[in-house]
Amino acid sequence: MDHFIGTVALIGIVIVVAALLSGAVERSGVPIVAVFLALGAALGPWGLGIANIGLESSLLRAVATLALALVLFSDAVTLDYKEVRSRRRLVWRLLGPGTIAPAILIALAGWALLGISVPAAAILGAALASTDPVLLRSVLRSRALPGPARVALRLESGMNDALLLPVVILAMVLEHGVTPGQSGIVTLLIHRAVGLFLLGPALGALVGLVGIVVLGRVRGGIGVRRDYESLYALGLAFTAYAVAESVDGSGFLAAFTAGLLVAAQDIELCDCFLEYGEATAEMLLLLTFVALGMSVIWSGLGVIDVRTIVFAAVALAARTVVLLPMLKGVGLTTRERRLIALFGPRGLSSLLFTLLPVFAGVPGAGYLFAVACLVVLLSVLLHGSGMALFLRASHRERKRAQDGATVSAPPAQAPAAQDPTAPVAQAHAAPSETAAEGASDVAAPAPDRITIPEVQALLSRGEDVLPVDSRADRSYRASELQARGAVRLPPEDPVRDATEMRLSRHATLVVYCA
């Protein structure tokens, strides 16, 4: 009972602290991961003693497994196929030699410096070559980050996990095979490869496809609330994982493949997940950091010696050394190349990858995990500090630009700069109305909904009307159509953005999305 109460208290504290500190952490640029690692230490046996989660804890195994499945699913859902196609050369360099070469360098350093076997070194190399989307989130949301650099980092952190996970799993089989009494290693490798590359992706695709078809029929019939669609997406992720694992397939790659199907076939479901479900997923990931921060991640401090420090330096520098020359000739400026090469934090994915052999009982896996913890702690310190400095400098530059600007409504963005009698384009307003009508059986329409004829009537009377394009970023990039005179206001933080843009406080804002 005490364990149950401690777990409930842990979840409650994480949610409360995440909500209260979200604004302060974003403004300060401090990595939220560092905050939650510190929170875990405060709640753990070295602090208040509310809970103690060790490597043998079933709670840690459950949380870590769900977190890794969610990381892979979220990575896939956030992929933009249009960006992937338009930047094929960049994607190839990031995910081909840009991912494999650092993994090989780190593995060689582990084998030479730490005295571990080749399969164990491969596990460590693959795990520490993975860049962390959770640590990168604050930077990716910053408008100060150049567009090409943002795209590159988002694609890399969203795709390299699926490339590196099979290396970890196959290396685990080999590491089991080199222990005394093991036989049939070839048969076992073939079995695992079939589960990885055939059963997992096939079942993930099946679950994703069936889920999309069923949702489409229900959505077109009785309607589905958008916030519940995001929960539906999370359900697909966990269902795909469970179905694949039940037949010895890779549940993690099944979750990734299900996310790919959602991203490719159902943009509305994808947007719903990004608007609502991503916050739920992020909360679980932060809870994982708190669980790790209670005691197990600090095991990295117990393996500090000259060899591990040198290895950690190689692990943190390998990606930068590889990417700086490799990103030449793909249309990036020198500053963009440096930002991409430097912003490569190691975080949750690296820890989860090295927890897999621990849960599987691979010999020596505890030491691999401890070394990975040391690298992650150093990465949070070094990369987190660099990102905080970047965000603070960007904030100061934006503040100076705002202070020097004339306080007035931007005339170039207002509809008055256009033909005031011209109608607002219906390309994106109409789907919004259709979606609202489809959901009318579930939730009553908002009282301030406005129709296009009413907007035209306001314009014809000379009213101060300002169309606001608040489509999700994915939908916005996928279309070239826009309402005449509209101001782009992303849905993530509209109040702050509207304040920074100094939109008129007296205009009627007509917000549309799709």
Which residue has better confidence, 274 or 105?
105
pLDDT of the residue at 103? 95
Express each pLDDT in 352-393 by its tens digit.
899 999 988 888 899 999 999 999 999 999 988 888 888 777
Choose from 141-155, 264-278, 373-387, 399-413 the range with maximum mean pLDDT.
Answer: 373-387
Burial 347-376 (b: 16+ CB within 10 A, else e): bbbbbbbbbbbbeeebebbbbbbbbbbbbb
**Secondary element (H or E) of residue 134:** helix 133-141
pLDDT band (50, 70, 90) for residue 409: very low
Contact by Cβ (8 Å): 81, 264: yes
- State how far the Cα of 238 lies from the Cα of 256, in Å rounded to an integer: 11
Tell me: pLDDT of 431 over 60.
no
Say if domain 2-400 classifies as CATH 3.30.930.10.
Answer: no
pLDDT of the residue at 147? 80
The CATH 1.20.1530.20 portion of the chain extends over 2-400
pLDDT of the residue at 457? 82
pLDDT of the residue at 278? 67
CATH class of 415-512: alpha beta
Contact by Cβ (8 Å): 330, 92: no
Tell me: pLDDT of 438 over 80.
no
Express each pLDDT in 184-235 by its tens digit.
677 777 877 887 788 888 999 999 899 889 988 888 888 888 777 778 888 8
DSSP 78: T
What is the token pair recorded at 220?
A: 């077109």
pLDDT of the residue at 302? 92
Q: Which of 155-159, 176-180, 439-443, 478-482 has the lowest mean pLDDT?
A: 439-443
**End-to-end CA gap in the chain:** 47
Q: Which of 67-76, 175-184, 310-319, 432-441 has the lowest mean pLDDT?
A: 432-441
Q: Which of 26-40, 213-227, 286-300 has the lowest mean pLDDT?
A: 26-40
Choose from 176-180, 221-225, 425-429, 504-508 the range with maximum mean pLDDT.
Answer: 221-225
Contact by Cβ (8 Å): 226, 275: yes
pLDDT band (50, 70, 90) for residue 496: low
Instruction: Please report, as a single letter, which amino acid is at residue 283.
Output: M
pLDDT of the residue at 4? 65
pLDDT of the residue at 155? 83
The CATH 3.40.250 portion of the chain extends over 415-512
pLDDT of the residue at 180? 44
pLDDT of the residue at 468? 87
- State how far the Cα of 481 lies from the Cα of 470, in Å rounded to an integer: 13
Using alpha carbons, select from 377, 320, 323, 324 the residue that is nearest to residue 350: 377
How many Cα neighbours within 13 Å face the side chain of 181? Answer: 0
Partners of 469 in the β-ladder? 488, 512
> What percentage of the chain has pLDDT greater than the value 90?
20
pLDDT band (50, 70, 90) for residue 3: low
pLDDT of the residue at 503? 76
Confidence (pTM): 0.74
- State how far the Cα of 465 lies from the Cα of 82, in Å rounded to an integer: 33
pLDDT of the residue at 251? 86
- State how far the Cα of 158 lies from the Cα of 289, in Å rounded to an integer: 19
What one-character-per-residue DSSP string does 442-458 give? TSPPPTT---HHHHHHH
Query: Average pLDDT in the 273-280 region?
Result: 66
What is the token pair recorded at 362?
A: 């691979």
- State how far the Cα of 277 lies from the Cα of 239, in Å rounded to an integer: 16
**Secondary element (H or E) of residue 508:** strand 508-512
Tell me: pLDDT of 97 over 80.
yes
Residue 84: phi and psi, rounded to 5, are -60, -45
Pairing of strands 508-512, 487-488: unpaired
Three-state secondary structure call for residue 360 = coil
**How many beta carbons lie within 10 A of that of residue 232, not counting itself?**
22
Which residue has better confidence, 495 or 149?
149
Residue that is written with structure tokens 């390299």 in the block: 160
Using alpha carbons, select from 37, 36, 54 the residue that is nearest to residue 45: 54
Which residue has better confidence, 12 or 179?
12
pLDDT band (50, 70, 90) for residue 407: very low
